[in-house]
Amino acid sequence: MEWQELNSDKTVMVHVDSDELTWTKASQATKGGVWRKMLERKGAEVARATTIVRFDPHQEFPRHTHNGGEEFIVVAGTWHDDYGAFPAYSYVRNYIGSSHTPKIKEDGCTILVKLRQMSKTREEPETSSWSLPALVDLKMGKERDVQKFPLLSSPLERTYALYFPKGTMDKILPIPPHGLEMFLLAGCIKSELGKATSRIHTKWSWSRFPNDTAAPQKLFISTDHEDGAYAWIKEGHLDSDEVGV
C-alpha cells in the first residue's frame, strides 16, 4: 500500500458516514475474507489509523505485533484471539509490543480499531478489556436519562460509552480541551456545535471534534430514534504523545 493521508490532521473537525464508504479487502488476510473501511489514516501498510474492519465467518489474520498499540471495540459478532473471546460491545486495549493471532469463528466479527495511537510515556498492561451493556438491555431498562459507562481513564485520554434514550433533546456533551472523538455504535443522533455546525450521525459514523482552548465546548445531542443512540467516546487525547508513524 502506498503512503496515504486521510483525515489525518487532528486539529481539523471531521465527520465520516461509513455507509458512504466501500468495503475494501485487507491484503494480509489468510483466507481473503477480511474487509475494511478507512476513517482516518497516515502511513502506508504500517500506519496510524482508525478503521472499521469486518471479518467474515471462519477467518484468520496472521500473527502480528502492535508496535504502536491497538485498541478496538467489537461492534458486531464475537472477537477471538490469544487473549480470549470478546462479544459485541467489548472494548479491548492491546499495549505497545503485544501480539496475537485473530481467529474468527462462525458468527463473524466487525470492529472499530485504532492503531499506533498509544503512548510510551504511560505504560499499560499487555492487554486490558471492558464489557459494555447490550443495546437491548438499555432499551428495556427503566432509566430515561443519559447513561454513562466509564472505560479507560488516564492523564492522556479517557474513553467511555454513552446511551441516549429516545426523546433526548439538546443534552450537552462537553468537548474538553484536546478534543473528542465519537463513534456511533447504534441508533442515530443529531449534534449541534453552535448554530453553524449541525450533523446527523448514523450507525457506525465517526466524528472528531478538536478543541484547542482551555475551556470545554458544548455539543448538543438529540435523538428520536427507536433505539435511542449508543456512542463510544474518546476524549482529551488529540494532543497526546502517541507513537504515530
Task: Note the Cα 92 to chain centre separation in Å.
Answer: 11
Q: What is the pLDDT of residues 102-156, one digit of tens each?
A: 999 999 999 999 999 999 999 999 999 999 999 999 998 877 899 999 999 999 9
CB neighbours of residue 235 within 10 Å? 22
| Alpha-carbon span 227 to 11, nearest angstrom | 32
Question: How many residues in the chain?
Answer: 245
Tell me the domains of the chain and their CATH numbers.
4-131 (2.60.120.10), 135-235 (2.60.120.10)
Q: Does residue 34 have a pLDDT over 90?
A: yes
Q: Please report which confidence band the pLDDT of residue 2 belongs to, taking 50, 70 and 90 as the band edges.
A: confident
Q: What is the mean pLDDT of residues 3-32?
A: 90
| Cα angle value 68/74/77 (rounded, 5°) | 135
- Confirm if 157 and 114 have CB atoms less than 8 A apart: no
Q: What is the pLDDT of residues 166-190, one digit of tens each?
A: 999 999 999 999 999 999 999 999 9
Q: Does residue 27 have a pLDDT over 80?
A: no
- The DSSP-derived string for 190-243 is EEEETTTEEEEE-TT-EEEE---SSSPEEEEEE---TT-EEEEEEES-TTS---
Per cent of the chain over pLDDT 70 is 98
Q: Give the chain's end-to-end CA distance (angstroms, integer).
A: 15
